[in-house]
Chains A and B, each alone.
Chain A
Amino acid sequence: MNERVYEIGLTVNGVPRSATAPARRLLSDFLRHDLGLTGTHVGCEHGVCGCCTVLLDGDPVRSCLTFAITVEGREVTTVEGLADPDGTLSPVQQAFQDSHGLQCGFCTPGFLCTVTALLRDNPAPTEAEVLEGISGNLCRCTGYQNIIKAVLSLSRGVSRTAQENGAGNATTQRGSGDHVR
């Protein structure tokens, strides 16, 4: 059985990347297996847990519910692309570290991508908006309290820095709402 494969090219964290894969290759597996970017985690593989969330042209999507071939040519930002090239953590990453917003770390890449976009679109969210914003990401360790604390720490005062410094590549493209092509 010879399954047809395709040459699939994407811009990942600002770098053009390509690999050969069948059409059924999920974006999550394309990133992990074909490009070796294992920062994106795969939990439930049916869109419930949010671990695999990445930014597609700046907006959060489930990489396990997207075929790599469908988003050929688009820009993807993974957790590996959030920090500065010199390793300085993004404001969101720093806040998670400062507030102990992670324990085992499995869900963290999804939370970081989700929160990066959340704060870009709403730099001063209320606690209710934070709760709603992260409701699509499951965490089995923290009980969420420190995650909420981390996000709110950026919402209060520090949000200015978050906006200016952005979160690496993620903020280079403002979500316009009409990004779909």
Chain B
Amino acid sequence: MKPPPFDYHAPRTLGEALDALAEAGGDGKVLAGGQSLIPLLNMRLAAPGQLIDINRVAALDTLVREPGGIRVGALARHSRVERSSGHPLLRQALRHVAHPAIRNRGTVVGSLAHADPAAELPAVLAVLGGWVEVASVSGTRTIPAASFFAGPLESALLPGELAVSAFFPSLPPRSGSAFAELARRHGDYALAGVAAVVELDASGAVTSARIGCLGVAATPLVLDLTPYLMASGAFADAVAYVRERAEPDGDIHASAGYRRHLLGLLAARTLSEAHATASSPGPSAHRITGGTTDE
């Protein structure tokens, strides 16, 4: 089908965008990459009266490396961030986001704002303990990942607010990350997925082990598995705990039980891979580094 009619706004500055959003109130919707919004419009599952197209707001097309991590502006497309962020976990996860043609248009911040519990990036932001910077005509605020994802397809953004950037903290030295998911076809929404981060101390002992799970709860599920991994050989206990905490739904693609089973396998696989990377000698590949193909 075709999108329903809407009033179209094409701001060129952040100020103009926020003014348009404020005026539109609850009837306004932001268009960035459109790879989730336009399907909803085409299927007429969404019919906002006012569409604020931020594609001309050049100030939002940013990708900035800061000492503590990477700041991704609202117009940075998946493909660019995949090539240029230098953040290993973002790169590992972005490979799994839909297909190249979608990644050429879709934006990282847009995916976060869409808050799909089966999407990769919310789980990545959540496991890293990142945050989203939000602006409106009345000011700015920072929303931590833990409170940004409110429910399925529901973020903490209020009417009139625009997510202007997301901050993905970098990983410390002697740490490793891994991402794995299972989908019926590469690029499809995953049945379940896991983003894992393992940190070690100088002696090689685990000081932190966390996973962010997707597709198995209403919002990204972050689990701290540090106690299990500190005790050597407690992988089986960690997997059992992960399966216990997940609350997957069953659908035509997979039963809830199968998703729970799968999640345990993916958790074990990613934790083991992240641990191996953290343990490997040499300069850590898991801090934010330069030298990606795009630079």
Contacts and interface: CB of A to CB of B under 8 A. Distances in A.
Given A24-B41, A66-B38, A135-B99, 4 more contacts: A62-B105, A69-B53, A136-B187, A177-B80
B5 to A, nearest CB: 5
Interface stretch (A42-50, A82-90, A96-104, A158-166): A42-50
- From DSSP, what is the main secondary structure of chain A's interface residues? mixed
Given A65-B39, A65-B105, A177 B61 contact: no
Contacts of B6: 23-24
B75 A136 contact: no
Contacts of A47: 35, 38-39, 102
Contacts of B53: 67, 69-70
A150 interface: no
A22 interface: yes
B31 interface: yes
What bracket does the count of chain A residues touching chain B fall in? 35 or more
A167 interface: no
Contacts, number: 104
Contacts of B99: 50, 135-136
A139 interface: no
A3 B10 CA distance: 17
A4 B7 CA distance: 8
Interface in B1-25: 1-8, 10
Nearest to A58: B104
Find the residue from A56, A59, A114 having the highest chain B CB count within 10 A.
A59
B279 to A, nearest CB: 28
A19 interface: no
Contacts of B77: 180
A136 B294 contact: no
Interface string B47-58: 000010101001
List 7 A-B pairs, minimum CB-CB distance, nearest first.
A136-B99, A23-B8, A46-B39, A177-B294, A60-B101, A24-B3, A135-B186
B170 interface: no
Given A24-B2, A46-B42, A132-B186, A70 B102 contact: no
A105 B214 CA distance: 37
Contacts of A3: 5
B177 interface: no
Contacts of A178: 80, 84, 294
A31 to B, nearest CB: 15
A59 B39 contact: no
Contact of B80 (A50, A56, A66, A180): A180
A92 interface: no
B105 A177 contact: no
B258 to A, nearest CB: 22
14 contacts: A1-B5, A24-B6, A26-B2, A26-B3, A45-B1, A47-B102, A56-B104, A65-B34, A67-B53, A114-B101, A135-B99, A136-B98, A136-B100, A178-B294
